[in-house]
Chains A and B, each alone.
Chain A
């Protein structure tokens, strides 16, 4: 009996509605695939507990952190943050026109809309590490490749959220400017962008946090930054040096997150 029928009959409605046969089969399939995935990922509780002493051993070998290479480490850390900052700034800058084209209400033509949406989806779905590999091959090793990878990743992230923010803005002020004879560019710059600005700032700051974390990993594939330092230290079993690098990364990410949170509260 459906919920409505039960209510009509004056009976207490059932706590759960019985699923239809198709929904039931879909649930079964999802559960079966989850069980298979656990097997596929070789999840092992025993393996985890067997690994615990080695984790403790590694932790002990990392202490105390070795500060002898703090100069080069801080320099690499600065380069990491610079990559994140420039990559985010360029990504945010290029996201703006892309997002305008990808916004149904503002796009000049449906073809432009679908092309921009497709490009944003492509930028978003390809992971930043893959972009880094692509740019290392095309522009060479170093921070430039990393910066380009972060820029493209930011365009995928900000492009989507900027477009959504602009689509959610009130139509009233835009209609008012259209009514007084403003050009399309005037409506976008004087009404849409100011209204979507809080969302733009929020998304950009999240993007900077995300890029800071990503920029650490990009070094592992030779795209500049502190990641390569961490890889070398781990490969050479210099665990105290690796500990110093990890602490430095932790402090950098924490500082960026705190700063971003502070700016978000101040500006929005």
Chain B
């Protein structure tokens, strides 16, 4: 399938009544971001319904990570609107921005744990979303109930026995599971993940994706993740969105896509429609 055909599918999907009817956790309109003269996001618009699992696809440099970071304003967008959980993210500042971020878990590609702290301390950092101060910095200073909750989160990712181990002594898969436990500790209402298994071997990647999507689905959370694994995207997402050159070129139900059509997103034969 050519890019033009894929784009047609995207337009059809965006106009589907199902997408319009469900309550939206994420609503993005005309999102733009440039680095110097290079325009990475060229007016992206999308809506993601509550409880949906959506995969964001695209080649390197297509703007996937930038889009996720702009949603939480880890990168400031140049223009456009981001509305998360019915709040205008782009209009918030200070404490209000922190409180909204606290409701969104974020799992990074390279887990981003604090290397010299224990797995338990790293999971406990998730409580900073609700409570600041030294009690949320290290497990040794934490409240009893927070320590117990952090241990429970580690139990859910199968790492309760590694609670006291330093993060830099864990394997890649274990580290990513600790990062998932940290996101659970936030008690999030939705979760973003930026290529959560890109740094893992295929077996560990499969295991982590199973755990990640499984845990989030159990809680009925909205999941928005980027991936280069087309099989993961088709297997774990309800809906696929694809970017190419900073533009949205596909938006449709995962069940309706086939592998060959998705591969077209990564070819460099045609330019995306302007």
- List A residues at the B interface (Cβ < 8 Å): 170, 172-173, 175-183, 185-186, 189-191, 194-195, 197-198
Contacts and interface: CB of A to CB of B under 8 A. Distances in A.
Contacts of A173: 112-115
Contacts of A186: 125, 128, 132-133, 136-137
Interface stretch (B17-25, B102-110, B221-229, B244-252): B102-110
Given A180-B125, A183-B98, A194-B116, 16 more contacts: A172-B110, A177-B125, A178-B74, A179-B104, A180-B101, A180-B102, A180-B182, A181-B102, A181-B186, A182-B129, A186-B125, A186-B128, A189-B134, A189-B137, A190-B128, A197-B116
A183 B136 CA distance: 11
B113 A179 contact: no
Contacts, number: 85
Nearest to A174: B112
A172 B112 contact: yes
A194 B114 CA distance: 7
Contact of B129 (A181, A190, A197, A198): A181
**Which 10 pairs show the lowest CB-CB distances between chains A and B?**
A181-B102, A172-B112, A176-B112, A182-B128, A181-B101, A179-B106, A190-B137, A181-B129, A181-B98, A173-B114
Contact of A190 (B111, B136, B179): B136
A169 to B, nearest CB: 9
Interface residues of B, number: 35
A176 B115 CA distance: 13
24 contacts: A176-B108, A176-B182, A178-B74, A178-B101, A179-B72, A179-B74, A179-B106, A180-B186, A181-B102, A182-B98, A182-B129, A182-B132, A183-B132, A186-B132, A189-B134, A189-B137, A190-B114, A190-B128, A190-B136, A190-B138, A191-B114, A194-B117, A195-B114, A195-B116
Interface in B125-170: 125-126, 128-129, 132-134, 136-138
A228 to B, nearest CB: 43
A171 to B, nearest CB: 9
Contacts of A177: 125, 128
A226 to B, nearest CB: 38
B217 interface: no
B99 interface: yes
Contacts of A182: 98, 125, 128-129, 132, 136
Nearest to B95: A183
Nearest to A171: B112
Contacts of A170: 112, 115
A64 B126 CA distance: 67
A128 B126 CA distance: 45
Contacts of B111: 172
A180 B105 contact: yes
B265 to A, nearest CB: 27
Contacts of B101: 178-181
A178 B102 CA distance: 9
Nearest to A198: B116
B191 to A, nearest CB: 11
Contacts of B132: 182-183, 185-186
Nearest to B137: A190
Contacts of A189: 134, 137
B128 A181 contact: yes
A181 to B, nearest CB: 3
A199 to B, nearest CB: 11
A100 to B, nearest CB: 15
Nearest to B105: A180
